[in-house]
Amino acid sequence: MANYKWVINAVDCYTTKNGLEKVAYNVHWSYFLTEGEHSVSMIGVKSISEPDPENFIAFEDLTEETVIGWLEASMEMEMMQENLNNQLADKIAPKVVTLQLVKPVVEEVVEEEAVEEEIAEAEPEA
């Protein structure tokens, strides 16, 4: 069974903005799809709209559920899930693989002294 899961990695906040404190403006997120032993993910940063002073939630009062609600309301969830489904299908049954050619055998570099000895031995004695 496919299982989608959000992880909120961090929230960027203004220390103060328009008289409000700890105002969230960016959410750093990861979105996972797990099926059996296979897992794929995507990550991103989503900007949050300006806060409404009447419905403002300070950072210390934010819940993961609230932030995920903001993300899901402002993102193309169907497209994101389709992307993860395609990633998972490619992971389970890859259509493309990267292979390496057999590496050639490289001969050791002969030390200069050994070459000089061979030359000296090969020269006829006078």
Paired residues of 6 in beta bridges: 31
Question: What pLDDT is recorded for position 93?
Answer: 94
User: Is 118 a member of any domain?
Assistant: no
**Rounded Cα gap, residues 21 and 84, in angstroms:** 36
User: Is 79 a member of any domain?
Assistant: yes
Angle at 51 between CA 45 and CA 53, to 5 degrees: 160
Residue ranges with strand state E in the chain:
3-17, 20-35, 38-47
Question: What pLDDT is recorded for position 25?
Answer: 96
Paired residues of 7 in beta bridges: 30
Residues of the chain with pLDDT under 70: 108-116, 118-120, 122, 124-126
Question: What pLDDT is recorded for position 68?
Answer: 98
Reading the block at residue 79, the tokens are 């497209």
User: Is 59 a member of any domain?
Assistant: yes
User: Is 117 a member of any domain?
Assistant: no
53 DSSP 8-state letter: T
User: Is 35 a member of any domain?
Assistant: yes
User: Is 13 a member of any domain?
Assistant: yes
14 by DSSP, 3-state: which? strand
Question: What pLDDT is recorded for position 109?
Answer: 65
Tens digits of residue pLDDT in 19-37: 999 999 999 999 999 999 9
- N-to-C CA span, the chain: 88
The dihedrals phi and psi of 55, each to the nearest 5 degrees, come to -120, 20
Tens digits of residue pLDDT in 54-70: 999 989 999 999 999 99
44 by DSSP, 3-state: which? strand
Question: What pLDDT is recorded for position 104?
Answer: 78
Question: What pLDDT is recorded for position 52?
Answer: 87
Q: Domain span at residue 46?
A: 3-92
Instruction: Domain count for the chain, please give it.
Output: 1
